[in-house]
C-alpha cells in the first residue's frame, strides 16, 4: 500500500506574494476516480492549475492543465517551461494541457515550473512554482547474471555489424526527432491484454558480470505471438529490424511523446500508418538483444526517458465536463 508513505510534496510560490502559503499536494478523494495518483491543484485569481503524476519522482510523467478564468483568454499567448525547457501547450476546450517528464537522472531538490503570460500576470508576465522531488531509489540487481548471446557483449565487432548498429542508431534518432501536434485526448492503456511485469524501469542489471546501463523501459511477460496493442493513438515513425531492439516499432503521439515496442516476433504496421489506441501493432517475440519472449515497452517525452507505466497511470487527460 503506497498510501502509508505519504510523500512530502510542497508547492511553493516563489514570487514574493505575501498571501500565498505552502500547499501540500493531496490525493484525489472524489469517488469517480480510482486513481492513486498525486495532484497539485492551485486556484489562482486568474486561472486554475492542475498537475497530476503517479508520483512527483524521477522517471515519472506529469500531466499539466491550465484553465484561465476568463474563457476569452484562451486565445492569448501562453508559454510554460519545465526546468527551463519550454513544454508544448495544446488547447483542449477552455484549457491548455501538456505533458512533461521528470528525468530519471534528476538531482534531488526543487524542480521549477514557470508559466509566462501577460494576461495572467500583468505586472511581471511570469510566475514560477517549485515542486520538491520525491526521493526514488531504482533497483540494482547485483547477483543475477544474465546470459546474453556473446555477439552482444564482445568488444570487437565486424565492420558490417558496426555499420548496421550505426545505421540503426541514426534511424532511431530521426524517428525520435519527429515533431507533430498532440494526437490523442484521453488516457493511455496497457500494451498487452494480460499484464505481468518482469523488469521495472531503470533497474540496473548485470550482463555477463558487467553492470549494464539502466533499463530504459518496462518488460512485460508474454508468449511468442501474443498481440501487442498501441498504448495510445499515434503515427508509426519507425517499424523495422534493429540490432539491439530486434523488430522495433516507435509510435509518435504528438508533442514529442513517443512509445516504443522492442523484440517483437512480427511487426504489424508500417511507417506512416495512423494507429488507434488498442489497435494490434505486432506480436510478442524475442528478437534482438533478448533473453526470452517478452515485450519491452519504452516511453519518451521531449527526449526524456520516462517510465511508460507513469504515462499509462495518468487519469486526468480527458477534457473535464
Smaller CB separation from Zn ion, 54 or 296 = 296
Closest-by-Cβ residue to Zn ion is 296
Nearer to Zn ion, 254 or 285 (CB): 285
Burial (Cβ within 10 Å: 0-12, 13-18, ≥19) of residue 270:
exposed
* Distance in Å, CB of 27 to Zn ion, minimum: 30
Residue with smaller CB distance to Zn ion, 28 or 172: 172
Closest CB 290 distance from Zn ion, rounded Å: 8
Minimum Å distance from CB 219 to Zn ion?
Answer: 4
Nearer to Zn ion, 60 or 219 (CB): 219
H helices within 142-268, ranges in order?
159-176
DSSP-derived secondary structure for 39-76: EEEEE-SSEEEEEEES-SBTT-EEEEEEEESSGGGGGS
Closest distance between Zn ion and the C-beta of residue 295, in Å?
8
Q: Is 255 in contact with 99 (CB distance < 8 Å)?
A: yes
Binding site for Zn ion (CB under 5 A): 219, 296
Closest distance to Zn ion from the beta carbon of 304 (Å): 18
Distance in angstroms (rounded) separating the CA atoms of residues 48 and 33? 20
Classify residue 279 by burial, with Cβ atoms within 10 Å: 0-12, 13-18, 19+: middle
Q: Is 232 helix (H, G, I), strand (E, B) or coil?
A: coil
Q: Which is nearer to Zn ion, 93 or 212 (CB)?
A: 212
SS3 280: strand
Amino acid at each position: 500500500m503506497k498510501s502509508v508513505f505519504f510523500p512530502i510534496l510542497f508547492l511553493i510560490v516563489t514570487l514574493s506574494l505575501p498571501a500565498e502559503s505552502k500547499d501540500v499536494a493531496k490525493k484525489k478523494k472524489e469517488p469517480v476516480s480510482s486513481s492513486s495518483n498525486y495532484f497539485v491543484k492551485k486556484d489562482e485569481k486568474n486561472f486554475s492549475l492542475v498537475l497530476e503524476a503517479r508520483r512527483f519522482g524521477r522517471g515519472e510523467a506529469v500531466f499539466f492543465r491550465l484553465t484561465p478564468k476568463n474563457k476569452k483568454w484562451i486565445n492569448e499567448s501562453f508559454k510554460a517551461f519545465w526546468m527551463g525547457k519550454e513544454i508544448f501547450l495544446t488547447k483542449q476546450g477552455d484549457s491548455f494541457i501538456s505533458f512533461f517528464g521528470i528525468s530519471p537522472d534528476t538531482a534531488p531538490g526543487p524542480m521549477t515550473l514557470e508559466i509566462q503570460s501577460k494576461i495572467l500576470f500583468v505586472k511581471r508576465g511570469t510566475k514560477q512554482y517549485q515542486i520538491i522531488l520525491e526521493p526514488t531509489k531504482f533497483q540494482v540487481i547485483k547477483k543475477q547474471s544474465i546470459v546474453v548471446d556473446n555477439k552482444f557483449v564482445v568488444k570487437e565487432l565486424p565492420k558490417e555489424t558496426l555499420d548496421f548498429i550505426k545505421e540503426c542508431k541514426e534511424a532511431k534518432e530521426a524517428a525520435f526527432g519527429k515533431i507533430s501536434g498532440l494526437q490523442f485526448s484521453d488516457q493511455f492503456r496497457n500494451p498487452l491484454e494480460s499484464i505481468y511485469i518482469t523488469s521495472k524501469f531503470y533497474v540496473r542489471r548485470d550482463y555477463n558480470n558487467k553492470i549494464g546501463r539502466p533499463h530504459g523501459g518496462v518488460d512485460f511477460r508474454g508468449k511468442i505471438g501474443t498481440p501487442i496493442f498501441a498504448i495510445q493513438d499515434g503515427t508509426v515513425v519507425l517499424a523495422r529490424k534493429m540490432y539491439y531492439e530486434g523488430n522495433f516499432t516507435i509510435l509518435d503521439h504528438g508533442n514529442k511523446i513517443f512509445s516504443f515496442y522492442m523484440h517483437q516476433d512480427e511487426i504489424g504496421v508500417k511507417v506512416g500508418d495512423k494507429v488507434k489506441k488498442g489497435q494490434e501493432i505486432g506480436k510478442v517475440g524475442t528478437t534482438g538483444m533478448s533473453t526470452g519472449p517478452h515485450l519491452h515497452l519504452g516511453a519518451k517525452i521531449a527526449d526524456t526517458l520516462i517510465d511508460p507505466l507513469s504515462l499509462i497511470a495518468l487519469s486526468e487527460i480527458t477534457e473535464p465536463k
